[in-house]
Amino acid sequence: MPPAPSSSAGTPATRARLFAFYLPQMYPIPENDRWWGPGFTEWTAVSGAPRLFRGHRQPRVPAALGFYDLRLPESRAAQADLARRHGIEGFCYWHYWFDGRRLLERPFAEVLASGEPDFPFSLAWANQPWTDTWLGTGRVLQAQAYSHEDDLAHARWLAEAFADPRYQRIGGRPVFCVFRPADLPDPRRTTDTLRTEVARLGVPEPLLLGLDAHAFGRDFRADGFDGTVAFEPSLGLLPRNVPPGTRSGARRPVGRTLHNLRAGVWSRRLRIYDYLDHVETVAGRRAALDHPTYPTVFVGWDNTPRRGRHAVILRNRSVTDFTARLGALVDGLQDRPADERVVFVNAWNEWAEGNYLEPDLDDGPAKLEAIARLVLAP
């Protein structure tokens, strides 16, 4: 691996360290060609998303960066430059590892091998199986499997990434996230193996963080991790729209229809909620927890490009609401050591989930400019 420049080069001082989740889906791969059709990328779904009701913001159209291709170093450099100028410390790449097989690996592999761009990064293992619903359920396209031998192989691959000077660290330890810790058949075996094998190879022991996306409120230290990322949105906390007293889902379409009608939308399938209501509900639930976490702020949610008329939509998201939530999280971290003032941002470029910081034709750079005003040191 060529030597990489220091990750501190050109990085502005900030009131908090923002790690933005990054989706490497914007280029074609043979598997997606086979499963979804020739040339499929995230942009295929995004550009074809239907507008399902009056005021529905679909399709989403990128502005400053355009419909980029992540095979191009110029695209990756432009993303890094835009993020750095607005106070994002680095990208947390979704990492797809399936019993030694990697998917969507090219962008990060080229970043690692080339040393460019000179922009910090970390990794988050998206360890659920790939399915045709994009939700980890449904017809399995790529299965996930676990073993001690695979943990060893995974640790040896990760050690090269962890050794890169750009890799993001807390307390000197490379940060590695796992999306669904509960899917690990023996989480302590996996976490112990990753730590010991990486250390044996002469790399600092990783800081292993479990995301509570599918286990709200769990303290993953009980499973051998070093800590928990309080992942958002917490879709599992959204009400199911079943009328009170209903014991089965038989009347759910009726309750959902009435709920949607009150929101001004006629649909029996869509699940429509308010962004700020969800943010405030989750914040209240999190305040009652007694274990430390690394917080997450999410930009928005509308997975119409992937789910069509079965989408989950958080409406009325505004730049002001997003910035207020981030500001509250940043303020709440100021009593921690500067190295530990970490906020994960979901996400840099999850376009098919309506969850992205990159400029679009509606908001332009407003979200990024708000972040810069909030976190960049005066």
How much is the pLDDT for 75?
98
C-alpha 68/C-alpha 14 separation (Å) is: 28
Whether 248 maps to a domain, the answer reads no
Does 240 score more than 50 pLDDT? yes
Whether 251 maps to a domain, the answer reads no
* Rg, the chain, Cα only: 20
Predicted confidence band of residue 306 (pLDDT cuts 50, 70, 90) = very high
Rounded to 5°, the CA angle 212-108-15 comes to 55
The domain total for the chain is 1
Please write the tens of the pLDDT for every residue from 307-363: 999 999 999 999 999 999 999 999 999 999 999 999 999 999 999 999 999 999 999
Whether 253 maps to a domain, the answer reads no
C-alpha 85/C-alpha 189 separation (Å) is: 41
Whether 200 maps to a domain, the answer reads yes
Whether 66 maps to a domain, the answer reads yes
Residue 194 belongs to domain spanning: 17-239+293-304+319-375
Mean of the pLDDT values across residues 180-199?
Answer: 98
Whether 206 maps to a domain, the answer reads yes
Q: What CATH number is attached to the domain comprising 299?
A: 3.20.20.80
C-alpha 103/C-alpha 107 separation (Å) is: 11
Best CA proximity match to 212, nearest among 245, 178, 242 = 178
C-alpha 371/C-alpha 378 separation (Å) is: 13
Whether 234 maps to a domain, the answer reads yes
Best CA proximity match to 2, nearest among 227, 142, 164, 130 = 164
pTM for this structure?
0.93
Mean of the pLDDT values across residues 159-169?
Answer: 98
State whether residue 293 is helix, strand or coil. Answer: coil
